[in-house]
Amino acid sequence: MEVMKYSSSGNDFLIFHNALHNDGTRPSLAQSMCDRHNGIGADGMVVLIPAANKPYAYEWEFYNADGSCANMCGNASRAVGHYAYMEGIAPSKHSFLSAVGLIGIEVDTSNTSLVQSDLGGWSVLGGNIIESNPYKVSSWTLLDTGVPHLVGFVSQMGDLPKLKDDCLRALRVKYNANITLVFAQKEQIFYMSYERGVEDITLSCGTGAAAAFVMAFENNLCSRYAKLIPPSKEILELRVNEDSHILFKGAVKAIARCEWLL
């Protein structure tokens, strides 16, 4: 089976289409392929299902590295959009169907490494949440940007954790959400996300960037446009359009075409 490995700002994925029937083995396939020692290695696996005579180009199934499904993944949406365009599955501007609805994609034809996703809107699930933590976060907000994120602001760059710890894991389990910490500095927003399904701090998280941006925007810490900087240091551009949708743009790259022996 042919698989493409992609990186979206350090978040890496394995992508294929029309290779396997959905016979219930995809979660275990994701675990095997995403294993960084005995597999190809990735944060997640995506299956494209081309859709004929539909108002969208394809559907997708997204699996975390542990085999669990996720409704959405912002960085994977950009990688998948690039893959679909380069493989001739979809035009440069198209949409696909995810578990949270239609996701709009636009590949920059003058520089095809740049891809923008329309992630839709967001919803606040809970605010002013008080949790003891070592990051000096006074209160947290739980919101959904395709998947849930518990978001907190730190006052210094140095308070952003670089390694996973017990507190991040405990908060992740308690709220069944990704944990995103943010340091906002004018139009530059630094953030990190501890992702469920990966159970670690990833080099970049797309829905985490969206969550960090939304909270900075709602707290008047940035305008309708900002640059987000994840641990990978690759710059992501986010803005809120007139429909209150989050537009998410950044570079993606195809790393390797792999053959997985079933």
Stretch among 79-83, 127-131, 186-190 having the lowest mean pLDDT = 186-190
Residue 261 has pLDDT above 90, yes or no: no
Q: How many domains does the chain have?
A: 2
Query: Are both 134 and 239 inside the same structural domain?
Result: yes
Query: Are both 99 and 170 inside the same structural domain?
Result: no
CA distance 182 to 161: 10
pLDDT at 24: 79
pLDDT at 21: 58
Query: Are both 128 and 207 inside the same structural domain?
Result: yes
Query: Are both 142 and 112 inside the same structural domain?
Result: no
**Rounded mean pLDDT, 157-184:** 97
In this prediction the pTM is 0.93
Query: Are both 110 and 37 inside the same structural domain?
Result: yes
Query: Are both 166 and 66 inside the same structural domain?
Result: no
When the pLDDT of each residue in the chain is averaged and rounded to a whole number, the result is: 95
Q: What are the residue numbers of the active site?
A: 73
Residue 167 has pLDDT above 80, yes or no: yes
Query: Are both 114 and 130 inside the same structural domain?
Result: no
Query: Are both 67 and 175 inside the same structural domain?
Result: no
pLDDT tens column, 18-75:
765 567 789 999 999 999 999 999 999 999 999 988 999 999 999 999 999 999 999 9
pLDDT at 45: 97
pLDDT at 20: 59
CATH code for the domain in which residue 130 is found: 3.10.310.10
pLDDT at 52: 83
pLDDT at 115: 98
Query: Are both 21 and 132 inside the same structural domain?
Result: no
pLDDT at 19: 64
pLDDT at 147: 95
Query: Are both 47 and 148 inside the same structural domain?
Result: no
Query: Are both 127 and 237 inside the same structural domain?
Result: yes
Structural domain including 170 reads 123-244
pLDDT exceeding 70 applies to what percent of the chain? 98
Query: Are both 79 and 132 inside the same structural domain?
Result: no
